[in-house]
Amino acid sequence: MHQFTLNGKPKLYKLFDKLYKLCFKHQWFKKKRDQYANQTFQILSYAFINYRALLITYRVEETKSTYEIILQNDYSEEFDVYKTKDVLPRSINLEQLILVHHDYAYKIS
């Protein structure tokens, strides 16, 4: 559907990549290197479960992991627009919601 990239920190990525290669491929340096790498998110689907819940399913391309976020809020106006026009209203920014709630997302695979 839609894909966007979260830019990492290239200087720190290069530093930990060199340390990873020099230190016999120690796993701690690999974790730190991956922490500062670019991440590409692909939004697979989104749906309103009801007027109070929004379900977002997305994948992180580098790890091939799929995640789900269920957000509970009063989405009554957005729910009505979604049901009548079958498009997501402009007031809901999926990219921002994924970036804010990625740490609390449920990992599917």
Amino acid at 56: I
pLDDT digits (tens, 9 = 90+) for 17-45: 888 988 878 888 888 888 888 889 999 99
Question: In angstroms, rounded to a whole number, what is the distance separating the alpha carbons of residues 66 and 34?
Answer: 17
48-103 confidence digits (pLDDT tens): 999 999 999 999 998 899 999 999 999 898 899 888 888 888 888 999 999 999 88
Q: What is the pLDDT of residues 89-100, one digit of tens each?
A: 888 899 999 999
Reduced to 3 states (helix: H, G, I; strand: E, B; else coil), residue 44 is: strand
Q: Sort 104 into a burial class: Cβ within 10 Å, 0-12 / 13-18 / 19+.
A: exposed
What are the extents of the domains in the chain? 2-107
| CA distance linking residue 83 with residue 79, whole number of Å | 6
